[in-house]
Structure 1
Amino acid sequence: MRRTVAVVLIALGVFFLAFAPMMRTWMSSSLMKTPLDYYSQTVNEGEVDYFNIEDVEPVENARVEAHSTIRADVASSTDDTVVWDQFTWIKDADTDFGISSTSRRAGHDRVTGEAVDCCDAMINDEAATQAGILWKFPFFPEQRDYDFYETTVQEVVPMEFQGVEDIEGVETYRYVQTVEPTTVGERTIPRSVAGLEGDGDITGDEQFSIVRTYWVDAVTGTPIKVSEDQHRVVVYEGEEVLTLLSGELTFDEASVQDKIQSSEQGRTLLPLLRTTIPVGSLIVGVGLIAIATVLLIAGRRGAH
């Protein structure tokens, strides 16, 4: 009888030992992928100075919103790569004046978030080969710097890890990307707009700088909160003569809550599948085999 029980316990122990790595690798890996039907709408808000090109005058301390929509292109995506289309519209929240708009398309790895060169990647309808992390960080991001693609200067600029913070009960890693003033084009404006004497126009360099902060879910890699403090100006003969856009825009509360809710399932299940259940299975498996061994030894002694 003891031998029969021992054999059953050994079989169960082996099952739990085999079950542990299966849970950690196969089942958790199946969940550690960005959805192919991903869709997101976010709003960044803040007080900003900008130049109204219709009224040809600067506007100070305006209440500004940046509305961003991301939609996955299911037809162009694969099991390993998801393709996203993004459109962002920045407007004066009080007057509805459209300050600027941008569009973007790129493919990225569904697990790591790194760029994949495919699928007619573009920025503002111009072909653009993108690299590094594009939008989302990898699952279980590390406390280190990451290469992150900046779309205005169209270069990879490091996202530097700067600490762990709690965002409404969610553990996040804070990463900061700093782009120093960079010339991104030219802008021709009237001398009067630039505050210069005389008639006619001047052509100056359009310079862009930004400090971008991501608070990233420590499990799913989802940005829970995003802040962008940007400065876009016209520089003429070494002097800033016109502010095109300057100020900090941050996720509004609805956007933060949406990101918290959309990442909740992964944040709950993945630690269970990768750690809690596998470790528990190993302990149970070893325990069952140990009990079976004791029963077998006891049975042999009893036989003598």
Structure 2
Amino acid sequence: MRRIISFILLGLGVFAVALGLLLRFYAYPQLAKIPLDNESTSVSEGDGITALIIRTEDGAPVPEIRQNLSLTSTTYVTGDLTQPEVEEDGDVAVYVEATRTTDDATGIVVDASVRSLCIDRHSNEAVAPCEGQFIEEEQGKRITADRNTVQQPGLSFKFPFGTEKRDYKFYDLSVREPVDARFDGEETIQGVNTYRYVMAVPPTKIADREVPGSLVDQEDEPSVDAEVYYQVKRTVWVEPETGIVVVGQQEGKQELLTEGQDPGEGTIVFQGTLRFNETTINDNVTKAQDNMSKLSLLTSWPVAMWVAGAILTVVGVLMLIAGYRRGGRHGFDPPLRRQPAGAAR
């Protein structure tokens, strides 16, 4: 009986270890993917903001810098299932992001953009080939790239599953290149542990513009050539198991520099802070918690199975060894030998 129990324990131990390996190294890569048909909305808000407003007067656009504005920025992210890179069980998703920032008081659109890119469903980094990638920050002026070129490199939308305490590259739409997302510590938000990352872009030229002279204190000039400079400090709080950005905050500044001006001396056309509103944060916390519970089956359970399997295997081996030693010391009953019929007894 002891030997039977020993083999049962050994079998259970090997099964537990094998099942743990299967969950962690086969099931986890298959299930820890962003969805192809993603559909999400995030809303950021801010008060006391300086921004350039384009109002309409007598049917003509009139630029005007206003202060102490309340702005709302809404970002929609959807999965594009029509692109050739998208396959049901594939590793590439195509996401389209549309962002619009409006003045709460007037409803005037302050800023808007649309972009599309292909991303790896595990790491969430942009990948190529990508047929339909584009960036559009001015209506009707869509910037595309060769399908074999990664137009928007780095992370976008979220961080990878199993986010680590290290720096990452995150794409910045304004400077059109990835910037360092530096790990800045841990913080608990509504009971969810998050990693905080900070992205800082120093004053950087992002465009040339021809603007009305009145906009840059040159009333006598109908138009003036100016350079647009941008700087930002963006902070995100990321739930590490899922990579979901729970909270996002952006402290930004843009200014117009004319000839002879240095950054900090120009005309400010945007300055202020936008942060996820409470509804968005609550939704992200709920989403992170739901996904954490699903992923725990594939991350924490394998560890428990490996530990249990190792214990069962060791106990089974020890019982076998103890049985053999007991048999060698005291002797097992020898098997009965059959004697031929009629043999002397």
- TM-score normalised to structure 2 length: 0.83
1:126 partner letter: I
Q: Specify the alignment match of 2:74 in structure 1.
A: 67
Q: Specify the alignment match of 2:53 in structure 1.
A: 52
Shift of 1:241: 4.4
Shift of 1:122: 1.0
- TM-score normalised to structure 1 length: 0.93
SS in 2 for 1:86: strand
1:143 to 153, 157, 165: 165
2:143 partner letter: E
> Root-mean-square deviation (CA), in Å?
1.8
Shift of 1:141: 1.1
Distance in 2, matches of 1:193 and 1:284, equals 71
Distance in 2, matches of 1:293 and 1:179, equals 60
Q: Percent identity?
A: 32
Q: Specify the alignment match of 1:245 in structure 2.
A: 270
Shift of 1:40: 0.8
1:219 maps to 2:241: yes
Q: Which moved more, 1:187-196 or 1:122-131?
A: 187-196
Q: Specify the alignment match of 2:317 in structure 1.
A: 293
The change in CA–CA distance for 1:138 and 1:60 in structure 2 (over 3 A counts) is same
Q: Summarize deviations over 1:248-288 as a string: whole Å, max 9, x none.
A: 111001111111112222222324422x3222222322232
Distance in 2, matches of 1:299 and 1:144, equals 52
SS in 1 for 2:29: helix
Shift of 1:293: 2.9
Distance in 1, matches of 2:3 and 2:240, equals 48
1:175 partner letter: Y
Q: Summarize deviations over 1:82-132 as a string: whole Å, max 9, x none.
A: 110011011001211111210110011111111112132111021151111
Matches within 5 A, 1:75-94: 75-76=82-83, 77-78=86-87, 79-94=90-105
Q: Specify the alignment match of 2:337 in structure 1.
A: none
Distance in 2, matches of 1:211 and 1:145, equals 15
Aligned length: 303
Query: Which structure shows the bigger proportion of residues in strand conformation?
Result: 1
1:261 partner letter: T
Q: List runs of 5+ in structure 1 lacking aligned partners.
A: none
Q: Summarize deviations over 1:164-206 as a string: whole Å, max 9, x none.
A: 1112211111111111222222222222232224242211111
Matches within 5 A, 1:140-289: 140-239=162-261, 240-274=265-299, 276-289=300-313
SS in 1 for 2:105: coil
